[in-house]
Structure 1
Amino acid sequence: MRSPLASLYFLPALCLTLAAQDVSPVEVEALVKEAIAFAKTNGKEAAFKEITRAGGRFHKYGGELYVFVYDMDGKVLAHGQGASKVGVNQFKAKDPDGVEFVQERIRLAKSKGKGWHDYKYLNPKDGKKEPKTSYIEVWDNLIFGAGIYKK
């Protein structure tokens, strides 16, 4: 017979799983604003390195929530999914439904300076292309963003 306390060993894993599913839009916006504040204080290059660094301060929930930075031409300057994305021009990138999500992101950045947009993207936690919504905000003519997968 198992001790009632034995089930407590699994509680942290359960809480992490539930927490990842409950990432709020407010938390996403706060992470983007934190990345911009970090860039203002420490410089763009330091921010780009920290955003791209695996397990860095701009990676949450096991990598499911992360920051990305694009220029206004669609070039990736920093990306929470890794350095392999940095330097790649994603202007013509399409999601599985044919949505040119980077162009949509750039239009939103130029027209409103910040906001939310929907598309599909590869979830690093399960390797599946899933519906996602991302918040972007422009600072110094750069697009800082982060997104959450819709559950």
Structure 2
Amino acid sequence: MRHLHKWIFSVMLTAAMLACSGMAQAAERATKEEAVAMVKKAVAYYKANGREKSLVAFSDQSGPFRDRELFLIVLDPKGTAVAHTALKKMIGANIMDLKDQNGVEIIKSFYKAVEKNNSGWSAEYTFINPASQQLEPKLTYVEKVDDLLIACGYHFLKTK
């Protein structure tokens, strides 16, 4: 009986710890402001260090341009990823026609976002959050520098 009580206590303690870690992860969700700050940091780095060094840094998965679900994607004028902090296999791929499950043209919305002011927000789309591995709504902040788009998105939960 005593072993049963210890086992139940262990299970309850583990469940409480998991619940708290889930709440901590939710509290650590990246924000809109952090996505903008990531792009601003990348633009400053690009201007200080040039294209070649920047594209290497922007593709470093453990470098300063990766934070939780925040990562950079850098696109050339034709929609080819020239840097990608989260998925190296995307580098060199033309993703201009990428759509979400609802038909939102994700990359084309990046180009549309920079048409007037060389910066702006994408259309809302659904994408897998690398932190939670769940499909979630996402917005991406984009800035145009030279002929490149530097983008960073954040996932958010819709409230009812």
Residues in 1 aligned to 2:22 and 2:88: alpha-carbon distance in whole angstroms: 30
CA RMSD of aligned residues (A): 2.4
Give a deviation string over 1:14-59, Cα, whole Å, max 9, x none: 78624422x2222211110110111111111211111111111000
Instruction: Provide the TM-score with structure 2 as the length reference.
Output: 0.78
**Structure 2 residues without counterparts, runs of 5 or longer:** 1-5, 10-16
Structure having the higher Rg:
2
Query: Once the 2 structures are TM-superposed, how far is the Cα of residue 112 of structure 1 from its aligned partner?
Result: 3.1
Per the alignment, residue 135 of structure 1 pairs with 141
SS in structure 1 of the partner of residue 154 of structure 2 = strand
**Structure 1 residues without counterparts, runs of 5 or longer:** 3-9
Q: Does 1:57 align with 2:64?
A: yes
Q: Does 1:108 align with 2:116?
A: no
Q: Does 1:32 align with 2:39?
A: yes
Q: Does 1:48 align with 2:83?
A: no
Query: Once the 2 structures are TM-superposed, how far is the Cα of residue 128 of structure 1 from its aligned partner?
Result: 2.4
One-letter code of the match for 1:59? Answer: R
Residues in 1 aligned to 2:87 and 2:24: alpha-carbon distance in whole angstroms: 22
Query: Once the 2 structures are TM-superposed, how far is the Cα of residue 72 of structure 1 from its aligned partner?
Result: 2.1
Per the alignment, residue 12 of structure 2 pairs with none
Instruction: Provide the TM-score with structure 1 as the length reference.
Output: 0.83
One-letter code of the match for 2:149? Answer: I
Query: Once the 2 structures are TM-superposed, how far is the Cα of residue 82 of structure 1 from its aligned partner?
Result: 2.2
> Which of these residues, 12, 28, 51, is aligned with residue 20 of structure 1?
28
Q: What is the percentage of aligned positions where both structures have the same residue?
A: 29
Per the alignment, residue 129 of structure 2 pairs with 123
Kept in 2, the 8 Å contact 1:93–1:100? The answer is yes
Aligned residues: 143
Per the alignment, residue 94 of structure 1 pairs with 99
Residues in 2 aligned to 1:67 and 1:59: alpha-carbon distance in whole angstroms: 7
Give a deviation string over 1:104-151, Cα, whole Å, max 9, x none: 111222233111121111211232222101100111121111011012
SS in structure 1 of the partner of residue 43 of structure 2 = helix
Query: Once the 2 structures are TM-superposed, how far is the Cα of residue 67 of structure 1 from its aligned partner?
Result: 1.3
